[in-house]
Amino acid sequence: MKYHLVYLLLGVLFLTSCNCEKPKYLEEEAISAFDEMSTTIGEMNSCSYTITIKALKPDAEFRDVTHDVYFKGPDKMYIYSSSEDMSRGYWYNGNQFAYYNFLNATFDTLAAPGNILETIEAIHDKYGIYFPAADFFYPTFTDDMIDNFDSILYLNDEKLKQRTIIDIAGLNAKKEVYFTLEKDKIGILPIGLSIYEKSEGVNLAYEANISNWRYNPNLLDRLFNFKPRESDTRVKLEPKK
């Protein structure tokens, strides 16, 4: 059985509870596209991609963060995250999780569980570190969308040479979520996500663009191993409060 590595990623949709008494409006083409995307992702043994995120800061300004992500199932991960004021690396090799701040040459290493899922969940729960991905990486993505959105709409598709760009929306009382998917000879992969909050009007709260997808690349094990330099300083990660 192939290892469903993207099942391991933390989500960013913050899906609301299902209102099971309310009728759903589901367009068959949208549901089929989501199912095909989950199949494409679930059959990967390894992958890499770049995700650029704009998320609202408390002062209502956007901040760009770019993450270069490398996964090799079942137990290897490397992420490099950067912005104007951030440069960090995260390594996981099956035994150890390592964090490194390139700006001040500080690091910490932690014993980690035996697979990516357990490691991501443990590090997030204890230290509040968010890993760059979205809920559509879960194999239960289609069911989660149906449970948590009142309408799922197939908005558009555009054929560009050997690929097709697909736009889909998920709508409920609190959010509007827009997905951009790309279909080619490999299958369907996500390339964009926008989340609009409806608390006061309809305001963009989160935007992500995913690019540079590599499907089953040959990633060497040394990519996932961290070794500090003698000049680096160990600073313990502080648990979240």
Instruction: Tell me the three state secondary structure of residue 190.
Output: strand
Handedness of CA 20, 25, 30, 31 (dihedral sign): positive
CA distances from 207 to 79, 89, 102, 133 (A): 19, 22, 26, 12
Q: Residues 128, 131, 133, 135: what is their CA dihedral angle, to the nearest 10 degrees?
A: -40
User: Mean pLDDT, consecutive 10-residue segments, the chain of 241 residues?
Assistant: 42 47 86 95 92 71 83 92 93 96 97 87 88 70 91 95 94 94 95 88 86 95 96 95 80
Q: What residue segments make up the domains of the chain, in order of their start?
A: 22-219
Q: What is the pLDDT of residue 186?
A: 92
The confidence score (pLDDT) of residue 92 equals 96
- What's the pLDDT at 96? 96
Give the pLDDT confidence score for residue 138 in this predicted structure. 72
Q: Report, in angstroms and rounded to the nearest whole number, the Rg of the chain calculated over CA atoms.
A: 19
Q: Which CATH class is domain 22-219?
A: mainly beta
Q: What's the pLDDT score for residue 204? A: 84
Q: Distance (Å, rounded) from C-alpha 199 to C-alpha 99?
A: 36
Give the C-alpha separation, 103 to 160, whole Å. Answer: 41
What is the reported pLDDT for 141?
A: 87
Q: Specify the 3-state DSSP secondary structure of 34.
A: helix
Give residue 23's pLDDT.
Answer: 76
Let me know the angle formed at the C-alpha of 18 by 33 and 167, rounded to the nearest 5 degrees. 25
Supply 11's token pair.
Answer: 């989500």
Residue-level pLDDT at 105: 98
**Per DSSP, what are the bridge partners of residue 104?**
none
What confidence score (pLDDT) does residue 135 get?
65
The whole-angstrom separation of Cα 182 and Cα 98 is 33
Question: What is the residue whose two structure tokens read 């490397």?
Answer: 78
Q: Report pLDDT for 97.
A: 97
Compute the distance between CA of residue 170 and CA of residue 48 in angstroms, rounded to an integer: 26
Angstrom distance (rounded) from CA 36 to CA 32: 6
